[in-house]
Amino acid sequence: MDFKIKRKSTKSVIAGGLLETYPHDLQMYKLPPVGDISLQEFETLALERLTLLRCLATATTLKGLRLYSEEWCDFILGDLRSQGLKYYVKLCEKSGCSTQDVDLQARRKDHIAHFILRLAYCRTEELRRWFISREIELFRMRFMTMKGDSVDNFFTINNLCYTNISEEEKDELIINLRESTHHPNIDKMKFYKVKFFEVLDLVKTRKVYLKDGYAYIPHKDFISVLSAQYRVHLRQSLAIACHHLGEVEQDERLVSLLKGLHQSYTGNDYSDSKSVIPIESLDTLSIKSFPLCMRQLHEFLRSTHHLKHGGRLQYGLFLKGIGVTLEDSLKFWRQEFTKVMDLDKFEKQYSYNVRYNYGKEGSKKNYSPFNCLKIINNNVGPGECHGCPFKHSDANVLKNKLKGYGFEQQALHDVVDLAKRGHYQIACSKYFDVVQSCNIGLGINHPNQYFEESQKLLKGDIKSEPKKDIKPIIKDEINDIEEMDFDENFK
């Protein structure tokens, strides 16, 4: 009985502390978290936050959805649900001031994860830029879902001295507000009166009413003021975090995690397949359902009857992930290799590696197929054909390969141009669309994901969307960077 009472009492104290620390779903992240956390939770929270930010990036750069549009928000929330991140869905759907323990715990995770990623993304200007852009998008999205009292509470908690104009003043200006503000239901909206230089992005696009040096902005556009302040705060905070990295990394357990976090894969590991793929179908599948990296490995193996270690590992694990059994895999490799060597040599030097991939030799782990980030960051030496062809192939070699596959001139140019710009995964997505004769805007993160989505499409489980040009997607990404610089200069 004493034990139960003690547990109940402890939980009550923790809940009270969380309510005081996290009174609102939306945070400006001005104070770092204090307390103990296990290494496992540290890593879990970091990867969940990274999944969230990558979801935002996918919606814009790969799906080509307009920032903050209804379709953009729906895609992000749906993706988060499919990833099992329901607490982030709740924080994004309706930010408020709930006192329920489940909401307080969600705010705690959100807070800690943000600061972990600061340590991981403060190292280079490129990483800082990506992190700031995604966090700004997340902040704006969450603010836009707030209503009435939640907004007022957010201002009070963060000491933001902004109050909405009175109904009398609004009635006097209502005609001008309707003409200058591009939102429906103007009569029901709260308006704020701020110095015009605080919302230069809105002034530039002529979305606000100006009078006597003040801009009258509705609640939905007030985020322009906050995001400019938040951007400056993040830039300064990342600079400070970078300065103190040496102290943090005295703990060797954190070094490898933080340094490699931006390259971590956060999706399905495809270590187990629910289907069985016969090796007799690999030639056909390689044309229609293999990503280019695996297609070129298959073709090279078929033509030379040999692959070096890097290629065997990358392709062998991919075959395992799509559903080729160990017995069939051994048969497949044996049939090819024994065309240039005797059976005894294959059994002594190569069959062990095949069984190793399936966890039957060595440490007997259930190894996962390589994801795109791992493949892209692989070192590829002379005479090797593994890695990512969009990164590791010469542009002319890539162009000739695609031309040999029957790519039309425009599609060929689009894919090669994306590869030259360093957009390797977007190039792979475009390759997918061309091969499948569709345009579903798939965000490619894993070769086995490519195969899985191709099979769904061929079986009619998913339907393609109307064709879209690839260029607006790249333009959105460039505009995102320009918008960041625009806000920073004005601040």
Which parts are annotated binding residues for [4Fe-4S] cluster? 293, 372, 388, 428
User: Coil, helix or strand for 438?
Assistant: coil
Terminus-to-terminus CA distance in the chain, angstroms? 59
- The burial class, CB within 10 Å (0-12 / 13-18 / 19+), for 123 is middle
- Looking only at the bridges linking them, the beta strands covering 209-211 and 191-195 are unpaired
Binding-site residues, please?
Answer: 293, 372, 388, 428
140 neighbors 262 (Cβ within 8 angstroms)? no
CA–CA dist 194, 221 (Å, integer): 12
CA–CA dist 388, 377 (Å, integer): 9
**Non-local CB neighbours of 297 within 8 Å, separated by 6+ positions:** 307, 311, 314, 315, 385, 386
Which residue's structure tokens are 């957010």?
Answer: 154
Q: Which of 90, 73, 89 is nearest to 81 (CA)?
A: 89
Give alpha helix (H) positions in 358-470: 372-376, 389-392, 395-404, 409-420, 424-436, 447-459
**Non-local CB neighbours of 86 within 8 Å, separated by 6+ positions:** 80
CA–CA dist 399, 387 (Å, integer): 17
363 DSSP assignment: T
User: Coil, helix or strand for 194?
Assistant: strand
Q: List, as one string, the DSSP characters of 94-132.
A: -------HHHHHHHHHHHHHHHHHHHHHSSSHHHHHHHH
CA–CA dist 465, 476 (Å, integer): 19
Q: List, as one string, the DSSP characters of 226-293.
A: HHHHHHHHHHHHHHHHHHTHHHHTTSHHHHHHHHHGGG---S----S-SS---GGGHHHHHHHTS-HH
User: Coil, helix or strand for 350?
Assistant: coil
* Distance set, CA 53 to CA 21, 194, 344 (Å): 24, 31, 51
Helix (H) or strand (E) run with residue 2 in it:
helix 2-21
CA–CA dist 196, 372 (Å, integer): 46
